[in-house]
Structure 1
Amino acid sequence: MAPLSFPVPPLPKSGQLRAFWRAPASSTALAWHIACAAAAHRGPLLVVARDNQSAHQIEADLHTLLAGDGSLPVVPFPDWETLPYDQFSPHPDIISQRLSALHRLPTLQQGIVVVPVQTLMQRVAPLRYIVGGSFDLRVAQRLDLEAEKRRLESAGYRNVPQVMDPGDFAVRGGLLDVYPMGADTPLRIELLDEDIDSIRAFDPESQRSLDHVQEVKMLPGREVPMDDVSVERVLATLRERFDVDTRRSALYQDLKARLAPSGIEYYLPLFFQEARSAGSAARDATATLFDYLGETVLPLLAPGVGAAADAFWAQTQNRYEQRRHDVERPLLAPEELYQAPDTLREKLNGLPRIEVWAADHARIEDAQALGDQPLPPLPVAAKDAAPAEALKSFLGSYAGRVLIAADSPGRREALLEVLAAAGLKPEVIPNFAAFLPSPTGRRWREAPDEGTTLAASSSKKAAASSASVSSTAAQKKQVASGRTLTPTPLSHGDSLRSPAGEGLDSAGVEAMPAAFAIAVAPLDDGFALDDPHIAVLTERQLFPERAGQPRRTRRAGREPEAIIRDLGELTEGAPIVHEDHGVGRYRGLIVLDAGGMPGEFLEIEYAKGDRLYVPVAQLHLISRYSGASADTAPLHSLGGEQWSKAKRRAAEKVRDVAAELLEIQARRRARAGLALQVDRAMYEPFAAGFPFEETTDQLAAIEATLRDLGSSQPMDRVVCGDVGFGKTEVAVRAAFAAASAGKQVAVLVPTTLLAEQHYRNFRDRFADWPLRVEVLSRFKSAKEIKAELEKVADGGIDVIIGTHRLLQPDVKFKDLGLVVVDEEQRFGVRQKEALKALRANVHLLTLTATPIPRTLNMAMAGLRDLSIIATAPPNRLAVQTFVTAWDNALLREAFQRELARGGQLYFLHNDVESIGRMQRELSELVPEARIGIAHGQMPERELERVMLDFQKQRFNVLLSTTIIESGIDIPNANTIVINRADRFGLAQLHQLRGRVGRSHHRAYAYLLVPDRRSITGDAQKRLDAIASMDELGAGFTLATHDLEIRGAGELLGEDQSGQMAEVGFSLYTELLERAVRSIRQGKLPDLDAGEEARGAEVELHVPALIPDDYLPDVHTRLTLYKRISSARDSEQLRELQVEMIDRFGLLPDAVKHLFAIAELKLQANTLGIRKLELGENGGRIVFEAKPDVDPMTIIQMIQKQPRLYAMDGPDKLKLKLPLPEAADRFNAARGLLAALSPR
């Protein structure tokens, strides 16, 4: 069978060095042409991108386009993702990927190497180091464990207690756990005597074994060697060339102790100097990526590469000049670490290459177009009467084949539903490769204007027969005439398969794939090609309003309401609230037969052993009990008066509270004229100066804050985000917007250290703008403070930062417009009263990691605006948290783990009197540690010096009191040990733990406690909560745990805590929300309200549940049941389906029924229907007392079809129709609701 073929884009011809491509309109089209060129070129294709983001995008698109084609490997060589001369090292995952690439490149016969231009400029370890430092381990091989430990340490691997990251290893008895560089998972090597008995992959999180492997390739553990010879060579260079003070230099001392200092990669050339001859300088023996790729490499330069190289070089030189005078950490010149842009250009000029030019290139007319066409927007609007009219029109007119590329299986299913509603049914295919017109594998043919045939050697057999790249006579004729193989244009009534026999030869080549198909193929953008004649549509074309917003997988329970009311954490016996029946105890999920159909029910036990079985469709009536400890939670009786009385008391209190809070809010709203005009011409360049990429949540919080500032009513916004998630930048942007509009800004913080930290951050960000930032601090003299207060009063200071000193009467502002409060929970009652007075007059922005319960409640009730930053910065890893008793061996391992990777530690000991003794103990335990002390009783200047020394890495362990709780931002410190953690509050523990994990390194928190039997029950609960919340963004969840541990007294005052303890925090908040909503609408809150939350009951007598063989975990099932029953609209249900398919696979029929019933329930709620019930012989609808259905509609239905419909009493409509199958009942239910809906 002769496969179909694809054209090769222009490559450098014989005797030519360059080919010029015109950049396609679509980035994914460029990736397609890169794949075609790589398949035709006999050697590696080196794709040089302008930056990391472009490289990642090209790599991702190539992986999708080449899915299933092992003949064209895509090998990324990632950037370190650190700035030049940074004092911390790249993440082990990045080093692992780079070492894997360096090991693979010398033997890469054909494939695609993707690299950002700044990374191509780097000098790297020579090939001899990568090859010479690699070795194999295989089953049945003899292995001396002690010798292997020494070999691994010499190769740069880290000896740790538990293997978590690439480059770790641990020895326990006859087991060697090791995470080889370049491997996807760590390996567990089991010895029998001195022979390797087995090698198994294992999961680093659960530590459970996975698959067996026979052998493993061990690569070096670092990009620099840490053997004695290499390290001594570097130490000698530091002494002789740089004349460092060997006693003060942390870099020198760490290397001498055989610890790899953080940022050691920026000394890489020193490790590879050739031995010197007498009187001559050492020769640099580093390599570049070209040394690994060989002579057959073909570089492809993406648009903008030259300018990006020049910009990076300027940045590197600038950072070198700023930092070169640090005698304790001497720097290598940029030329030693990188190839200069001119050197790189000279290298590239000597090689055949492809240059891709953007449309604005001066010589764009000389570049060749690649045969792709721009795609029009084809918007699909699910709510429109004709939701896919543009797409239908395109399918009818386009002569080629069309693929819809979905981001995930869940998105594919959602798209199929939308398309089906529009009468379109694409064929589902597994991936992009299945859409291509070659049934037996890809082959690329010569382009019509090329003089030589360029065949892809897509496997070892590719060159076996010249016939493999030949075409049939019919195909050759078409190619010669310039036509391409196309199926007959599709009309929408036709089958969505290409016509049988189209383009086939007599040998019977298989038919072309589907003319209209859909596949899971996450691509950046859509594209259309002339040959093959295909169009690929992504969601960018179908949903243009989402263009430029990369999809994030929605995490369950991230919304505040979902976090608080989540049922996923329930354990058997936990208190639980049913809105109609009160507080009982959760006894699990149980499957029961209901009307002959299996259904899953929540079992609740009440007083006297009574049981209530709640259908999963009614889980919106269930909430997790919060407000007191589980031990003191009430237990109500089924059918008793106790619950209804408690609920009514709570509702009465809630009504009063809602009115009071709304009155406060109304007074604020009445103060008009505070609108600030944000000068976008100034603001946009300022925002662009932020050196990191904002997360989606962070951008949303910034935009919401700017909107509030532009409102005439005072802003009162709470930004809740975990420590290090970017709250400060929200405040910086708001402060700039206010200050540039002529208003003064006060930034209020709880501690002097945090004031200094914010002062440095604000000053750095405002450095290029004519705005003055100052700080009121105890580090300043009284004379300095007086002078600054005068400037504040005169308007000479735009942004003033300080502690509660800013709230003193002598602080007068000329024109205060914005107050930023950081860590509100750290202020006392008097400060909060002063803030309350401010709140009505100025814009207020509150930043918090764990909101106090009052703030939490007001935000939940909609009385204070809330922004949650729940997305971690890129590469940020969760803090691994351990609760343990004091153990010398464990502590020594914790210290060594951090020091071995060049990091720093905090050791928190909150007792000034014994802190000196603790320093001596730690020095004996870890002699190589350099320990500094900080506490609040030190003189201000000395404390400032200590903190600065720690920041400069002059010592690597900071022994301190809770003075570090706020204000220390040391990205290189990634381990914290908290002594007597049982004595701290939950929010405080969370804040302290947030001191670490502020970079992309794995961080560790060790909470030391005495014997658990000797600590209080509340302390135990706090420790369990902080240990379980080790995921990123847990601060909000911890605030709700605080309610359970401390009780609800702090929420809105002691007088309400009794009512809350009776009904639980979740229901109390819901009652408050309803009361606020009623009062806003001018209605008196109905104390017996609850019907609106109850919603319609839909019973179709079909199995509707999540089977345990589909999802075995009961907690996850419970959470999903709750989310389905609580969904507020069809879009939420669709998102949930997408999420479930992505997480667990295609939905079984019973789950599809569950979603369909939830959809019917939403429709029934809008019509005022209490119950919809259908079975084999028909069914009935029960209406509420005042349904939203026109009585004439019901009368007309009965008059037109009296045999079908009849009234049964004043509130029931009967349906007499046989409905034997589930599909019949769903169709009948949808028809009924549609008939009753207003036209």
Structure 2
Amino acid sequence: MLYAEPEGLLAARLVEAALAAGPAGTLFLARSETRAARLHRAAAALAPDGTAVLLLPGWDCLPYDRVSPTRGIMGRRMAVLAALAAPPEGPRLLIASAEAALQRLPRQAEASLRLERGAPFEPEAIRLALLRLGYGLEEQADEPGEAALHGGVLDLFPAFAPGDPAWRIRHEAGRVESIQRLDILTQRSLEEETEALTIGPASELVLPKGDALIEARPPGLEHALPVWHPELVAPLALLPEARLILDEDCEEALARRRAEIAEAFRTRIALRPPREGEPQLPPPESLYLDEAAWAAALGGRAPEQVLPSQDEPAAPPRFAAQPEPEAAFLAYAEAKLAQGRRLAIAGGIGRGARRLARRAAEELGLEPRLVEDWPALLRTPPGGLALLPAPADLPGFEAEEAVLVPFAAIRPGGGASAQQRSDQGAEALIEASATLAPGDAVIHLDHGLGALRGVEAVDTGEARVDCLRLDYADGSRLVPFDELDRLWRYGATAEGLSLDRLEGGGWEKRRKEAEAEVAKSARQLLALVQAREAARAPVLRPDKARYPRLVARFPFEPTADQAAATGAVLDDLASGRPMERLVCGDVGFGKTEVAIRAIAVAAFAGRQAALLAPTTVLVRQHLETLRRRFEGFGLRIEMLSRLTPPAEAKAVRAGLASGEVQIVVGTQALASKAVRFADLGLLVVDEEQRLGARQKAQLKTLRGREGLHVLTLTATPIPRTLQAALVGLRDLSVIATPPARRQPVRTLRAPLDDALLAQALRREARRGGQSFVVCPRIEDIAPMRARIAGLLPELSLIEAHGDMPAAEMDEAMVRFADGGADVLLSTNIVETGLDVPRANTMLVWRADRFGLSQLHQLRGRVGRGRARGVIYLLTDPATKPAQATIRRLKTLEALDRIGAGFAISARDLDLRGAGELLGEQQAGHMRLVGMELYRHLLDRALARARGEAPPEAWSPAITLGVDAYVPEAHIPEEALQVDIHARLGRALRAGDLAVVEALEDELEDRFGEAPEPLRNLFDLARLSARCRQLGIAKLEVGPEAAAATPSGTVPRREAAAAPPLERRGERLLLRRLGATPADRLANAAALLAALAPGRRRRAA
């Protein structure tokens, strides 16, 4: 008997079935795509080596859509076809969804392209072959199924199987010269090479040679697949002798899918018949299996049915919700092992799991075994403990013979240091705006605003070195290595800026003005920081009985960053000082859960908590969430907004004043003078950046309360808040890891037509979901409403836009969120603050009229439940968008991964909207010298205001006579060469040798062993950092000696010569021969080692 739940146990039983069936195979049909993917992941982790566990995905587009399935999906389908066509070498388990099972496939993956080192390479023939196989020719290959052909290089990202690496193929004189791995993130070739490469198709539609559509394959052509491949095969026929198992509710899913296919075909033919030159759509039965074809494909087999679980699925508890997770797990493990069951920890090769296993061995007296798979676990003696090298978040289960506990249930994040990653994430957001590239505007500390043009090699007579070339209003200047730390980024482009003059005192005057004003600001900021540090607030700690119960109601495992942010918030609440923390995370990353746990701590401690949100819709949704999570805890939770009836609002205000209302959710109405709190302990502000100036002014009256803890949530890391964190006015937590349950939203770009509109909205409604239709202007609403009503009169529709009375608009959005309509037709007012888990489809009309960040925020409104979301970026078919618009929409398509918001919002971390800490005046100072240099000046001014002496701003001058540069043959891209120098400059400015070492390791990993000039460049960086530590202003090495000159900051007595050093005036000498560059580098290092404080003391 097979039962539907828990999924982990079903996956284990499928592995057992596959092993029993052997090469004949086992075919399991899941009721949905997402369930098929989850079961495949679990089964692949539990199956032994030699067992082929395959996933046949369905197309990720609507039947007869105007867009094609993604190349990655089609490539994976063709990979399954190829794998099943090969002679079996062991057991085979094929998992597919009901959707995938109904769609026919080509008979076999015949077409391919083979490239071998030394074989002929004719660029035009290769280009046509790739197009025929369905590959897209792009500027760079960074997605499966893409290729880029530039000069003597072909970059290729195969789509034939998941996990295939990308490759860079170099060719010269008509022959393949090399085939190297390609890093798709850096677009650099790696050291790994191969002799030959077989490239499978990226489409199920491999066009015949010479077909006119090869050069101009229209989107959606795959829906006419039978025109070119009339002999298609049913997926069931791929394993004709296989044991066939149908998931619970799979028959219903098959029936629904058949109805969708028939309706989609009728809609496409009626509303958008093929135009001249386009192929006729073949009838549905030629591409999909109707009931008769399904029965024929079964071939007389009687499928086995997975049964619904009779009892509550037995799964291990979530130990992470307990006060002592590891202790709770050990108690649980002891009880299960005493029953004679085996117990395995999934994720067992991680450091945290191994440490837990050692603790278990000590406390339970059992030595854990390492087992590779599920059958190996069952071969161990009953009552034993095992470690399974499977994903740490594998779904756990309890079976009679064994128990599987995912390590993530004991420690979220799999045991990695989540707090460390979050801290680094905050810095990464700031540093993301500090990278340099040719064309950037930069500030040289001594010469002012210039334009960075690139890297220029300079021959000094003794050696070749790299310099950065800066253009100024009256000439250019070369910046050598020892001045890199004096460069600061000003902005993303120098276009339109008034550059400084090298000859003249304009910059020096501006810099001194800025330094003087920043010093004033620093004193004011320091007063605020000191006031914050001196302030006291009640110590709030989690209630030991109720807090774990509330946490256990969270239906998901917190991500590593969520856990880190929660830990930081709990530490703040217990610190005795008022919390002022900003939690920054992308749309849907779980910021609200962090707030809920903070509210729980305050409310369970007897203090009142208020949650302020910018819209009444968001307030209503927060209210429902809080009431659901706190049900049964005896807390009164109320709402206060413009939708609250007057009598009810009066009662809420009375309850807040008396203390009867423990938790309140509201808009800025919470900050009105009419609202008094009996004992407000915590204020949570959601999406503060969406509040207007008046709302923020009202908010200050709340924030100013003595001893108040404040937690702010935002999806937009704007510079103002980052600056506040840097100077200590706020603490910052970044949630940068996505929830494991959330899938990326599929982003599609297409011209609008009635068939696409009808299909997308009807499909979402039929699967029980809801849809957004977003228009750029209010005047576009009425025509779109009429269009939808004419096409789909059966769908209910609600409107929301800025011309409606505020209360009416809020009520409309609340009704939609409550499931009151199939479609919400609106302007972009829905881009924030609306959480509708059933909404999985969005159509954005005239997407070219929206900004990139707006479109990303809109995209975040769909796919917030278990189903994958899809957003259509619709353009006017009668208007050709500008190239810049197409690039912008393509960027959003490319950045459709989870967490892309940080990549998109990083573009806003420039001078635009830099904001103020104390007022607009400071924003002016920031614009005067640039954000990065402003931060540096402010840090130094704050140090002086605290009575500390900031480190002297000087750079050691180093003369060694060795080649030190980035060889073009090794790293040809000038932008990357500039970035390397900029990162070295920042590392030296911070005096951080670890960053220098990390950069050197990164470059060696990406580009292989560094040539000598590049190694010398990093040796120079290390020497420069060491000189700073020792106070050496000048380091010179010649053929007979090495000399160091201390800076003026090092007293003479500290620079005393110790054997084997000699003093010559201000210089300290080490007499050694340095005939070669390697000798001179070694002599420089030896001199600095002799000057180290410990060495001087030993010599004395």
Question: Partner amino acid for 1:1068?
Answer: Y
Q: Would the aligned equivalents of 2:863 and 2:870 in 1 still touch at CA under 8 Å?
A: yes
Residue 1121 of structure 1 is aligned with which of 948, 973, 981?
Answer: 981
Give the match for residue 719 of structure 1.
583
The change in CA–CA distance for 1:1107 and 1:376 in structure 2 (over 3 A counts) is closer
- Cα deviation digits, residues 957-994 of structure 1 (max 9, x gap): 42113431322223554565556778878765654443
1:830 Cα deviation after fit: 3.3
Whole-Å separation in 2 of the counterparts to 1:92 and 1:913: 38
Give the match for residue 364 of structure 2.
none
Question: Partner amino acid for 2:621?
Answer: Q
Q: Would the aligned equivalents of 2:615 and 2:833 in 1 still touch at CA under 8 Å?
A: yes
1:788 Cα deviation after fit: 2.0
Does 1:1060 pair with 2:920? no
1:1067 Cα deviation after fit: 0.9
The change in CA–CA distance for 1:689 and 1:368 in structure 2 (over 3 A counts) is closer
Residue 1173 of structure 1 is aligned with which of 1036, 1043, 1057?
Answer: 1036
The change in CA–CA distance for 1:375 and 1:562 in structure 2 (over 3 A counts) is closer
SS of residue paired to 2:1056 = helix
The change in CA–CA distance for 1:782 and 1:178 in structure 2 (over 3 A counts) is farther
SS of residue paired to 2:582 = strand
Does 1:548 pair with 2:404? no
Give the match for residue 135 of structure 1.
107
Give the match for residue 1082 of structure 2.
1227
Does 1:909 pair with 2:775? yes
Give the match for residue 1213 of structure 1.
1068
Whole-Å separation in 2 of the counterparts to 1:734 and 1:368: 35
SS of residue paired to 1:1196 = coil
TM alignment of 1:728-1127, pairs within 5 A:
728-767=592-631, 769-840=633-704, 841=706, 842-874=708-740, 888=752, 905-909=771-775, 911-912=777-778, 915-921=781-787, 931-935=797-801, 946-947=812-813, 950-951=816-817, 957-971=823-837, 973=839, 976=842, 991-996=857-862, 998=864, 1001=868, 1003-1004=870-871, 1006=873, 1033=899, 1035=901, 1041-1042=907-908, 1046=912, 1052-1080=918-946, 1082-1083=947-948, 1091-1092=952-953, 1094-1127=954-987
1:771 Cα deviation after fit: 3.2
Whole-Å separation in 2 of the counterparts to 1:583 and 1:749: 41
1:808 Cα deviation after fit: 1.0
The change in CA–CA distance for 1:947 and 1:93 in structure 2 (over 3 A counts) is farther
Does 1:1194 pair with 2:1059? no
1:1165 Cα deviation after fit: 1.9
Q: Would the aligned equivalents of 1:818 and 1:843 in 2 still touch at CA under 8 Å?
A: yes
- Cα deviation digits, residues 138-174 of structure 1 (max 9, x gap): 4599xxxxxxxxxxxxxxxxxxxxx999999xxxxxx
The change in CA–CA distance for 1:187 and 1:76 in structure 2 (over 3 A counts) is closer
SS of residue paired to 1:1195 = coil
Gaps of 5+ in 1: 1-30, 67-71, 81-89, 142-162, 169-176, 205-213, 224-233, 242-248, 261-269, 278-282, 291-304, 315-356, 381-404, 406-432, 434-443, 450-520, 526-539
Whole-Å separation in 1 of the counterparts to 2:1002 and 2:1024: 21
Question: Partner amino acid for 1:794?
Answer: S
Question: Partner amino acid for 1:967?
Answer: G
1:576 Cα deviation after fit: 1.6
Give the match for residue 400 of structure 1.
none
Give the match for residue 527 of structure 2.
663
- State the TM-score, normalized to the length of structure 1: 0.59
Whole-Å separation in 1 of the counterparts to 2:906 and 2:945: 26
TM alignment of 1:218-233, pairs within 5 A:
none
1:954 Cα deviation after fit: 7.2
Give the match for residue 128 of structure 2.
none
Give the match for residue 486 of structure 2.
621
**Higher RCO, 1 vs 2 (CA within 8 Å, ≥6 residues apart):** 1
Whole-Å separation in 1 of the counterparts to 2:264 and 2:317: 34
- Cα deviation digits, residues 620-661 of structure 1 (max 9, x gap): 33232149x845533112253211211111111111111112
TM alignment of 1:612-651, pairs within 5 A:
612-615=477-480, 618-626=483-491, 630-651=494-515
SS of residue paired to 1:690 = coil
SS of residue paired to 1:1061 = helix
1:1100 Cα deviation after fit: 3.9
Question: Partner amino acid for 2:53?
Answer: V
Moved more, 948-957 or 580-589: 948-957
Whole-Å separation in 2 of the counterparts to 1:164 and 1:1213: 54
The change in CA–CA distance for 1:366 and 1:910 in structure 2 (over 3 A counts) is closer
- Cα deviation digits, residues 226-265 of structure 1 (max 9, x gap): xxxxxxxx999899x9xxxxxxx999789744699xxxxx
- Cα deviation digits, residues 1083-1125 of structure 1 (max 9, x gap): 4x87xx8x44x54454544344443343343333433332233
Give the percent of matched residue pairs that are identical in Structure 1 and Structure 2.
34
The change in CA–CA distance for 1:1145 and 1:777 in structure 2 (over 3 A counts) is farther
Q: Would the aligned equivalents of 1:554 and 1:1139 in 2 still touch at CA under 8 Å?
A: no
Q: Would the aligned equivalents of 1:748 and 1:801 in 2 still touch at CA under 8 Å?
A: yes
1:746 Cα deviation after fit: 0.6
Whole-Å separation in 2 of the counterparts to 1:1112 and 1:308: 61
Report the structure number with the largest CA radius of gyration. 1
1:754 Cα deviation after fit: 1.0
- Cα deviation digits, residues 842-862 of structure 1 (max 9, x gap): 111111122454323222333
Question: Partner amino acid for 1:780?
Answer: T
Residue 437 of structure 2 is aligned with which of 570, 573, 576?
Answer: 570
TM alignment of 1:242-391, pairs within 5 A:
256-257=263-264, 286-287=303-304, 309-311=313-315, 361=336
Whole-Å separation in 1 of the counterparts to 2:1035 and 2:510: 31
TM alignment of 1:18-97, pairs within 5 A:
72-73=50-51, 75=53
Q: Would the aligned equivalents of 2:352 and 2:414 in 1 still touch at CA under 8 Å?
A: no
Whole-Å separation in 2 of the counterparts to 1:613 and 1:651: 26
Q: Would the aligned equivalents of 1:585 and 1:606 in 2 still touch at CA under 8 Å?
A: yes
Q: Would the aligned equivalents of 1:1172 and 1:1182 in 2 still touch at CA under 8 Å?
A: yes
Note the aligned Cα RMSD (angstroms).
Answer: 6.3
- Cα deviation digits, residues 346-369 of structure 1 (max 9, x gap): xxxxxxxxxxx9775557889899
- Cα deviation digits, residues 742-773 of structure 1 (max 9, x gap): 21111111101111122222233323544333
Give the match for residue 126 of structure 2.
none
TM alignment of 1:85-164, pairs within 5 A:
111=90, 135-136=107-108, 138-139=110-111
1:700 Cα deviation after fit: 2.0
Q: Would the aligned equivalents of 1:45 and 1:111 in 2 still touch at CA under 8 Å?
A: no
Moved more, 1222-1231 or 804-813: 1222-1231
- Cα deviation digits, residues 493-526 of structure 1 (max 9, x gap): xxxxxxxxxxxxxxxxxxxxxxxxxxxx99989x
Q: Would the aligned equivalents of 2:449 and 2:499 in 1 still touch at CA under 8 Å?
A: yes
Does 1:700 pair with 2:561? no
Whole-Å separation in 1 of the counterparts to 2:380 and 2:678: 75
1:729 Cα deviation after fit: 1.5
Residue 202 of structure 2 is aligned with which of 176, 183, 187?
Answer: 187
Residue 542 of structure 2 is aligned with which of 671, 678, 687?
Answer: 678
- Cα deviation digits, residues 582-602 of structure 1 (max 9, x gap): 110121222333454333322
Whole-Å separation in 1 of the counterparts to 2:696 and 2:942: 24
The change in CA–CA distance for 1:806 and 1:253 in structure 2 (over 3 A counts) is farther
- Cα deviation digits, residues 1027-1073 of structure 1 (max 9, x gap): 99776546567666557574656564333344332211221122112
The change in CA–CA distance for 1:684 and 1:1022 in structure 2 (over 3 A counts) is same
Moved more, 909-918 or 898-907: 898-907
Question: Partner amino acid for 1:1131?
Answer: A
TM alignment of 1:574-593, pairs within 5 A:
574-593=440-459
1:824 Cα deviation after fit: 1.1
